[in-house]
Structure 1
């Protein structure tokens, strides 16, 4: 009976980690919608909801610690708990990046660079996290390698986006008639967009981390861990 109870605890942990991922991804999607629509209410929803994610993270962290301490798992069970512990950390950090999107929305006055496809990058990294969590749920090794490969494309896309912003900034003519306020506003918008692209790239990196921990969990392989 004790062993059966332990296996049920492991199942519940998996379900809880997946539940956390659903909430986190909903926060990212809301942050992206806020950026697109400039809706302050959506931005504040993401920012003010961060405490819920932090609370859930702490609960799951304690759940993992209790399983380590009280059940003394070995082999595959040990790797599963360790991987789950690392994955909830990545999810918590993705939620922090979603909060940043809310903050950027409140700072934004206009879209200066419509050619930078922030929404497209955002959809791509959200899908990567979704697929990484599906790989975790289904113990899908092939999907882990696929997610790692897709990250290179995201990195290239983000690099091009950042390059576009910097190039346009260099080409922008700032003459003697430009006020300090106008120059400061320009630099603020450029900085905001570069930070947005950087944070979305980091979401993709966390998806790879989740895939790496899943691979470790299933095959005891650290090939994708860096």
Structure 2
């Protein structure tokens, strides 16, 4: 294949990965909105839309495989294709976590833990994914190193939120005025802890994306773990 045509295929791959990331971030934002507003219709749309994300993932995966098998890229091109393949895997898993959040939105009450600002944590995490993808788009190695530090702050926010829930559970006396049976309280606690856990996992996937980008650009495995 002529070099120009090959280069266009690489450019198309990058564009496709970025388009997939836009769709995933949109899904994540909608799931967070559903969680905050308890909008069951919006939550259902996020859940049913996951099929389209999975299909897009498989399409891009096949493109990566063909480039590796037929073009046998070397050096930086090989790292780029391999990184793109890894990144779409992280994006697909973020989309799955968005589905989890939408599922919680269909059942959870935000009254008991209104003091936990899930919206703020979610906003920070969406920004982290978008920053990681911007670094991939621009081959920006320097920005990837900042993402790991930002994720540490998100981990701190999630840890504080989890501690709040556990402390509340330990301090709660199941009296009549609380209006919750032990099973109902357990359900509320479980859903909130799962929500926090899944948000933290999205941040971890953003760091993975940054790590693959850094390796793609500089062949530096500093952030890969």
Give 3-state SS (helix, strand or coil) of 1:174's partner: coil
Listed as ranges, the matches of 1:47-126 within 5 Å are: 47-126=47-126
2-side partners of 1:48 and 1:170: how far apart?
A: 37
Q: TM-score, normalised by structure 2?
A: 0.97
CA positional deviation for 1:12: 0.1
1-side partners of 2:155 and 2:116: how far apart?
A: 14
Question: 2:157 maps to what in 1?
Answer: 157
Q: TM-score, normalised by structure 1?
A: 0.96
1:25 aligns with 2:25: yes
2-side partners of 1:111 and 1:144: how far apart?
A: 37
Tell me if structure 1 keeps the 8 A contact 2:86–2:212. Answer: yes
Tell me if structure 1 keeps the 8 A contact 2:174–2:181. Answer: no
2-side partners of 1:29 and 1:110: how far apart?
A: 17
Q: Runs of 5+ in structure 2 lacking a partner?
A: none
Question: 1:185 maps to what in 2?
Answer: 184
Give 3-state SS (helix, strand or coil) of 1:154's partner: helix
1-side partners of 2:117 and 2:201: how far apart?
A: 16
1:47-101 C-alpha deviation (Å, 9 max, x unpaired): 0000000000000000000000000000000000000000000000000000001
Give 3-state SS (helix, strand or coil) of 2:181's partner: helix
1-side partners of 2:149 and 2:110: how far apart?
A: 34
CA positional deviation for 1:115: 1.4
CA positional deviation for 1:144: 0.1
2-side partners of 1:190 and 1:82: how far apart?
A: 40
2-side partners of 1:68 and 1:111: how far apart?
A: 51
2-side partners of 1:110 and 1:94: how far apart?
A: 23
1:2-39 C-alpha deviation (Å, 9 max, x unpaired): 11111000000000000000000000000000011111
Give 3-state SS (helix, strand or coil) of 1:142's partner: helix
Q: Runs of 5+ in structure 1 lacking a partner?
A: none
Q: CA RMSD in A?
A: 1.5
**Structure 1 runs of 4+ with >2 Å offset:** none
1-side partners of 2:185 and 2:25: how far apart?
A: 31
1:140-199 C-alpha deviation (Å, 9 max, x unpaired): 111100001111111111000000000001000025x699x7111111011000000000
Question: 2:40 maps to what in 1?
Answer: 40
Aligned length: 225
Question: 1:147 maps to what in 2?
Answer: 147
